[in-house]
Amino acid sequence: MDYEYIKQMDEGIDRNALLDELMMTFGKDVWNYAYCLTRRRELAEDIAQETFIKAYHAIYSFRGEMTMKAWLLTIARNTTRDYFRSAWFRRVQLVWEEYETSLFHPSAEKQWFVSLEQREVWNAVLSLPRKLRETLLLYVHHHLAHKEIAELLQVSEGTVKSRIFRARAAISRKLGKPAAFEGGKRP
Amino acid sequence: MNHSQWEKHLEELPLGSGGFSPKSMKQIKERIRLSGKRRSPMRGIAIAAVFTLLAAVVWVTGDYRQAFFPSPGAKETDEQEFRLTVQYGDKMSFMARFGFTYMIDHPKASFEVAIPSDEYEEKQDLASYKKWVSESNADILRVPLAFVDDLAADGVLVPLDDLIKREKLDLQALYPSAVDLIKEAGNGQMYGIIDDLDMNMLIYNRSLFRSNGVSLPEKGATWDDIVRLAARFEGASDRGKPVYGFSYGSAPDPFRMIFDIGQSQGLSIVDGEGHPQVDSASWKAIWSQVSEGLRQGWIGDKLPDNSEESDPLKAAIAGNAFYNGRSAMTLQPYLSWYVMNEAIQQGLLLDEWDTIPLSAPAAPGKISSLTNGTVYAINAKSANPSQAMKFIHFLASKERSNKAVETGGPQMLLAAVPDTKLGESSPIGRYYESELDVSAVLQQAKRSQLPAYNRVMSVLSAKANEAVRDLVAGQSTVDEALARLQAEAEQAAIIGVLEASE
């Protein structure tokens, strides 16, 4: 869907209908991105909601310089940053950095995984340093272009490509290592 | 293993039914609808129209001058064009909250934002903040209260007394305790203005006190006084449902209750050196009182069931015993007034209520800690301190506070006390009337910035609620529970100190 028409229309647009369409089209992307940044479902939900509320109020300022998806993810990223900065969050949420050893606890999540390999891959990705993780997922999961990622993250395209390269190398190395549960041998 | 072999697994986030849902969409629409209700419609339309036009043109052209075409309140000015850079999270939020409003009266203004560094984001300490300030081009800084004295001593901040006089900023119009606080932080000089203040106050239900024959809490009350009053409600009920002497929040979180009570009594989880003091005699007393109250039923924990409520606002109301007229007292910041007001509008809370500070024994009638506060200061490197001061004056203006009250806000206390008749329906007047124990507030602020603090807080956040449940169930004593938490906090504190020294 091309949202270029928005910049032509200013107030002649049904914001509520547009909001519905944006949520249906991009809700999952925004939520997933917020989850990957925060690693908390409840927080991802809050951030996703805040993102669409902000987008609703700022929709007439969308000028089509980036795709709608990238624009929404930029809002989500900034909203996440605000959460990380809030006083209570700093006090309480740090617990998740400390006490979660694996993003997906096998007992709770096992029914969602198609394969053990999928869980391994996601755990490997989500344990990457934040900058590498975020860049890789924007590229591979959200399918943004290098240029869009560069704008969203406020870095150069070269940095984006470098981070993707390093992230891929780190995960490929990690997955290439023997897995303990199989006694040191991979099939 | 090559990346093409594993990247296919990243197409889907494997969370099953977790994630964005029709329920999420419904809540978003409800929140938008309710946020539109809070404001005076005509003023809201006028402001939205101005913002929309400004946003559209500035976004396209990057040129604020093209954005200034006839709009309500636009002023003739002999100002030269100028740009201010403000420390803030992102430009869109800044412009929506402050920038566009400021530009109506200052059409030659333009803004950029300076976003603090990743290093400061992670460490949240003085050294990384100072480093970021030295490398940034911010004119206006939002400085943590705990850093003001050090930054002032190092010449990083502009002393404002002369600028305040030149700008004719009326300090008498500001919330007096905030002026005292910023002067205390600057060793007698003002290095900033405090905005977005908030603090916990005790809110009580007069009708429940009357109907249960319990005397009302008085100004100067400490937590011990509140415990004595709350215990009088043991066994109380109203139309077949239990009535509590004290409750807290909209979802069971006894640790947060204990923590906020402790802060109100001037307690901190670390001492002045950053060593955990989770098991101090004063904390033990509060833990004992709260667990006793939960066990005996005069502190509410089994709150009304809001688990089926999908709307977050409705869930917050449904889960809060005080908002449903089933609790005699609660502790909350001004930020929660919006939810309480909804409960009143919906007819769920019909009783008379009032609010007083919950004081520490050492400072009767005063408040010992803030839940929020932002210090706006001027970077000594700023090339435009006069314009920076004008912006700070705008933040601290009565006009801004009055407009906020007229349009259904503000969310927290703005720097200037509003003139507008605040009326009996809002507690904002009581919050502004309250006095801070500035030394205690500053001490709390400083301790919360010590290297070990966040780590100690993490431990408590993870483990304390379970400890309270064990206490209430009689599975441990307070001494045992706090000894365990103290030991874990000490381990965590060591890590915090090591990390800070890296």
Q: Give per-residue pLDDT as tens, B357-410.
A: 999 999 999 999 998 889 999 999 999 999 999 999 999 999 999 888 877 667
pLDDT of residue B68: 37
Q: What is the domain range of residue B302?
A: 200-368+451-500
Asked whether the predicted pLDDT for residue B39 surpasses 50, the reply is no
Residues A67 and A159 grouped into a single domain: no
Residues A156 and A142 grouped into a single domain: yes
Q: Which helix (H) or strand (E) holds B436?
A: strand B435-436
Contacts of A171 in chain B (CB under 8 A): 3, 6
Residues A127 and A48 grouped into a single domain: no
User: What radius of gyration, in Å, describes the C-alpha atoms of chain A?
Assistant: 18
pLDDT of residue B84: 96
Residues A11 and A49 grouped into a single domain: yes
- Interface A–B counts its CB contacts (< 8 A) at 152
- Categorize the per-residue pLDDT at B271 as very low, low, confident or very high, splitting at 50, 70 and 90: very high
CATH number at residue A126: 1.10.10.10
> d(Cα B442, Cα B266) in Å, to the nearest integer?
11
B46: in domain: no
CATH number at residue A48: 1.10.1740.10
Question: Is-above-0.95 flag for pTM?
Answer: no
CA triple A86-A92-A93, angle to 5 deg? 80
Contacts of A119 in chain B (CB under 8 A): 14
Residues 68-107 of A with CB under 8 A from B: 75, 78, 81-82, 84-85, 87-88, 90-92, 94-95, 97-99, 104
Nearest-10 Cα torsion for B475, B478, B483, B489: 100
CA triple B376-B171-B163, angle to 5 deg? 60
**Which of A31, A49, A97 lies nearest to residue B27, judging by beta carbons?**
A49
pLDDT of residue B70: 34
B28: in domain: no
Residues B432/B413, Cβ–Cβ less than 8 Å: yes
> d(Cα B286, Cα B278) in Å, to the nearest integer?
11
Residue type, B117: S
Residues A93 and A117 grouped into a single domain: no
Highest mean pLDDT among B30-34, B113-117, B162-166: B162-166
Residues B188 and B213 grouped into a single domain: no
Residues B276 and B328 grouped into a single domain: yes
pLDDT of residue B94: 83
> d(Cα A115, Cα A127) in Å, to the nearest integer?
19
A19 touches chain B (CB under 8 A): yes
pLDDT of residue B65: 37
B93 touches chain A (CB under 8 A): yes
Q: Counting Cβ atoms within 10 Å, is residue B275 exposed (0-12), middle (13-18) or buried (19+)?
A: middle
CA triple A87-A91-A94, angle to 5 deg? 125
Q: Which residue would you say has higher pLDDT here, B111 or B407?
A: B111
B442: in domain: no
> d(Cα B488, Cα B460) in Å, to the nearest integer?
9
B333: in domain: yes
pLDDT digits (tens, 9 = 90+) for B432-456: 999 999 999 999 999 988 888 888 8
β-sheet with B353-356: strand ranges across: B329-333, B200-205, B353-356
Candidates B203, B267, B451, B250; CA nearest to B258 is B267
Asked whether the predicted pLDDT for residue B476 surpasses 90, the reply is yes
Q: What is the domain range of residue A157?
A: 105-187
Candidates A149, A172, A169; CA nearest to A159 is A149
pLDDT of residue B1: 66
Is A122–B90 a contact, with Cβ atoms under 8 angstroms apart?
A: no
Residues A113 and A75 grouped into a single domain: no
> What tokens does B348 get?
């769920």
Candidates A151, A140, A170; CA nearest to A36 is A140
CATH number at residue B181: 3.40.190.10
Q: How many domains is chain B built from?
A: 2
Residues A71 and A144 grouped into a single domain: no
Q: What is the mean pLDDT of residues B126-135?
A: 95
pLDDT digits (tens, 9 = 90+) for B482-499: 999 999 999 888 888 877
φ/ψ of residue B306, rounded to 5: -115, 15
Residues A170 and A113 grouped into a single domain: yes
Among residues A66, A100, A134, the one where a domain terminates is: A100
Q: How many domains is chain A built from?
A: 2
Candidates A138, A136, A116, A117; CA nearest to A128 is A136
B97 touches chain A (CB under 8 A): no
Asked whether the predicted pLDDT for residue B3 surpasses 90, the reply is no
Contacts of B19 in chain A (CB under 8 A): 28, 31-32, 35, 44
B463: in domain: yes
Residues B136 and B105 grouped into a single domain: yes
% of chain B exceeding 70 in pLDDT = 86
Residues B58/B18, Cβ–Cβ less than 8 Å: no
Substitution target in A45, A114, A119 with the highest count of B β-carbons within 10 Å is: A45
Residues B392 and B460 grouped into a single domain: no
Q: What is the mean pLDDT of residues B165-187?
A: 95
B129: in domain: yes
Candidates B135, B131, B75; CA nearest to B394 is B75
Residues A185 and A161 grouped into a single domain: yes
pLDDT digits (tens, 9 = 90+) for B315-347: 778 888 999 999 999 999 888 888 888 888 888
Candidates B335, B387, B470; CA nearest to B163 is B387
Residues A120 and A151 grouped into a single domain: yes
Is B7–A140 a contact, with Cβ atoms under 8 angstroms apart?
A: yes
pLDDT of residue B488: 92
Residue numbers of chain A with a pLDDT score lower than 50: 87, 91-113, 178-187
Residues A177 and A113 grouped into a single domain: yes
Our measurement of the distance from residue B468's CA atom to the centroid of its chain's CA atoms, rounded to an integer in Å, reads 25
